[in-house]
Amino acid sequence: MSIYDEIERTTGIKRKSVSAKELLTIRIGGVLKNAFAPRSVKELARLLDEFEILGIKPFILGGGSNVVADDGEIETPVLLTKYIDGVRIENGVAFCECGVKIADVLRLARERDLGGLEFLAGVPLTIGGAIKMNASAFGRQIFDLVERVFVLSRACEKRVCDERACATPLKVVEKKKDEIDFAYRKGADGIVVGTILRLDEISAGESKRLTQEFLRLRREKQPIGLSVGSVFKNGEQPAGKLIEGCGLKGLKIGGAKISEKHANFIVNEDGANASDFLALVETCEREVAKKFNVQLEREFVWLK
């Protein structure tokens, strides 16, 4: 019996083999051999506890909008959170589980003359991913709306605790906004399982207008196609400007290409694989460091 057979036996959650191309927005990567799909926070916590006992760290995958998977077979266990997608809106407040899509929260809010997430229209994010990275665009960030964040923690009562060796089961812990050290593209630490958002009071018509405007701006500035979104974080100078300054716009390796519209985007133009994407990333890093003495910081996550 393999360790994954044991996980299935103890949790009752079956693993499956799935192509990364089905899960990631850039449609790149090999086969995830050990994917688990919990349907609740309780199931997610149980899986994590079991992996902790075995000394294995699984990869937690939400909407897949900032992830690139390696080519070939990937043995790393992956926990899919997209089915943990409950949401309700009461008195101007949205209670969201980690797997719910930003688009769904925006739609439900609009039905109640509420909004605030229009600036993320068109971004294939889940709430969990948005909170984890403090998703931002057009001068707004999701933490402008956050009141509470819920994370899984050991919540051990010991004054000193090594969480890796702690037998205390994972529990949901509530954190107030002022308890979180959020910043540009930096949100809540730990395993985010939900959030409470204070939505803006806005008519459905105005929400639709703003959504269309942000979609128009996004189409003007960003390429249409398969991508992870921004490849690098912006520093004192925008990463796209630095890459453009190296004359790399339009550079193509295999099926991957640095966008001619925005150089901080790498698009899967023609059946790209992970090695094509990574080769372009490394080219950008090398050339920007050489010309501008700036070390680009990757924004995407590599699953291998």
User: At which residue do the structure tokens 């010991």 appear?
Assistant: 158
CA terminus-to-terminus distance, the chain: 24
Active site residue 299: yes
Q: What is the DSSP string of 145-163?
A: TEEEEEEEE----SSS--G
Dihedral over Cα of 194, 198, 200, 203: its sign: positive
Beta-bridge mates of residue 214: none
The token pair that represents 64 in the structure block: 């897949």
Q: What's at 272, amino acid-wise? A: A
Active site residue 227: no
Active site residue: 148, 185, 218, 298, which one?
185
Active site residue: 65, 207, 227, 230, which one?
230
Active site residue: 206, 213, 269, 299, which one?
299
Active-site residues, by number, are 185, 230, 299
